[in-house]
Amino acid sequence: MSGFLLRRLLQAVVTFVGATFIVYALMFSIAGDPLQALAGEKPLSDSQRAQLTAQYHLDEPFIVQYGYYMKGLVTGDFGRAISGRPIADILAESWPRTIQLSLMAVALVIVFGIAGGVYAALRRGRAFDQTSLALTLVVIGTPVFVIGTVFQSLFAVELGWFRPSYAPELGLATYILPAIVLGLLSLATGMRLTRTSVVENLRADYVRTAAAKGLPQRRIVGIHVLRNSMIPVVTFIGADLGALMGGAMVTEGIFNIPGIGGRLFQGIRLEDGPLVVTIVSLLILIYLATNLVIDLLYAALDPRIRHG
């Protein structure tokens, strides 16, 4: 178990270094002029130029630049955005909103995605199953920003059920529509995956064994089948987190939520390179850390992995 843990941890570190290196290299070297990449087409004053050169050590060789950048990331020294505000301040203020939003979205995915998938699998071929298969396919084929803008138009502007943009005075309720938008894609994929997994496991030999022991159907499905079916679903949730992060950027942008994703959205539109590259790198870090946790959870769920 500890060997497995160590190996996975090492892999995650390698992946993190590699992934941030690629992102950093893409940002600063393919464009030719790193200053332009950072600031876009905005004219830069000499003092801004000097500040950016110093902040990113642009007068040093590339690999040294990357080294400084990584050091800053790991030590929490994120530098300043083009606007001049320390990035750390912006992040500190934005995190809670994004966490509230994503937790709500994940809760939706788990409750409706998994429950819906299990129900569809048990009623295979019936109306609920057929309808949910068709609807989830449509959701999977619809880009998040289309779902976001259409839902905003339909449920907020036309029907008036929700506010069309962030309203902090509503408390958590302001996140309901954005959380639905953010979670819908994962809900659809998760539901289909759960359904497939449960259908497959219902056919497994161990289900017949459990039936031969005289166990009630409830217990066979609820304990034997479900426990096995959740193994691929848990891995999916880890892999899906990347899409969820991109989705958070789009969703928070559409609904004007000043969370991490919203800041990234604004950063892209305002051509704030330092803010964009820092947030992307941090999100990669979180993505990989979460996947590490998911892997451990996977090992906990599947003894065949644990005892190789």
Report the interhelical angle of 226-254 vs 176-202 (nearest 10°): 160
Tokens representing 76 are 């929490």
125 interacts with another protein by CB under 8 A: no
DSSP-assigned states of every residue in 204-266? SHHHHHHHHTT--HHHIIIIIIHHHHHHHHHHHHHHHHHHHHHHHHHHHHHTT--SHHHHHHH
258 interacts with another protein by CB under 8 A: no
268 interacts with another protein by CB under 8 A: yes
149 interacts with another protein by CB under 8 A: yes
For another protein, the closer of residues 6 and 22 by Cβ is 22
137 interacts with another protein by CB under 8 A: yes
Tokens representing 218 are 């409830």
Rounded CA-CA distance 251/265 in Å is 9
> Whole-number minimum distance, CB 4 to another protein, in Å?
15
The stretch among 56-64, 65-73, 76-84, 154-162 that binds another protein (CB under 8 A) is 154-162
Count of positions on this chain that bind another protein (CB under 8 A): 80
Strand partners, 80: 86
- Binders in 29-48 for another protein, by CB under 8 A: 30-32, 36-37, 40-41
283 interacts with another protein by CB under 8 A: yes
> What SS3 class is residue 86?
strand
Rounded CA-CA distance 28/267 in Å is 16
For another protein, the binding residue among 9, 11, 130, 161 (CB under 8 A) is: 11
The stretch among 21-29, 46-54, 61-69, 85-93 that binds another protein (CB under 8 A) is 21-29
For another protein, the binding residue among 6, 18, 96, 170 (CB under 8 A) is: 18
205 interacts with another protein by CB under 8 A: yes
> Whole-number minimum distance, CB 76 to another protein, in Å?
20
- Binders in 228-257 for another protein, by CB under 8 A: 228, 231, 241-243, 245-247, 249-250, 253-254
- Binders in 157-196 for another protein, by CB under 8 A: 157-158, 164
CB 178 within 8 A of CB 100: no
The stretch among 1-9, 79-87, 103-111, 266-274 that binds another protein (CB under 8 A) is 266-274
> Within a 10 A sphere around the Cβ of 131, how many other Cβ atoms?
11
Tokens representing 3 are 């060997």
DSSP-assigned states of every residue in 116-169? HHHHHHHTTTSHHHHHHHHHHHHHHHS-HHHHHHHHIIIIIIIS-SS-SS--GG
For another protein, the binding residue among 181, 284, 292, 294 (CB under 8 A) is: 284
> Whole-number minimum distance, CB 23 to another protein, in Å?
5
- Binders in 63-92 for another protein, by CB under 8 A: none
219 interacts with another protein by CB under 8 A: yes
CB 248 within 8 A of CB 102: yes
